[in-house]
Amino acid sequence: MTMDQSLLQFPLERILLLYDEAVVCLKRAAAAVSAGDQVLKTETLSRALGALNTLRAGLDPTQDPLLARNLEDLYQFSIHRIYDADSLNDCMAIEQAIQVLEVLRSAWRDIRKEVHAR
């Protein structure tokens, strides 16, 4: 994946921080589900949703419609899995969201390396 940094609504570092926040919160939520801690589960899932919604808000379909649509679809999948995890206490749903976000986070890290190499 290549991308000119000027196409981004948010700086790359902020994007990576949002992915980090979402993944860390989801991992804490999975631990909370396993421990039966409903309060921590709800708090951490809410924080993960906040990070994802901020990432969604940064999409600019006018710059790259296909990329924006694909990211939107992946964010929506993750959001739906988080809602499932919340309502069903489903650690597998959390793990599925984490897997998607970790792949995306890795791709954004590669983009950062490419941008800094220029």
Cα distance between residue 60 and residue 80, in whole Å:
22
Segment 42-99, tens digit of pLDDT: 999 999 999 999 999 999 999 899 999 999 999 999 999 999 999 999 999 999 999 9
In this prediction the pTM is 0.88
Instruction: Count the domains in the chain.
Output: 1
Q: How far apart are CA 18 and CA 37, in angstroms?
A: 24
Q: Does residue 96 lie within any of the structural domains? A: yes
Q: What is the CATH number of the domain that holds 19?
A: 1.20.120.340
Structure tokens at 34: 């396993």
Residue 58: give the domain boundaries: 10-117
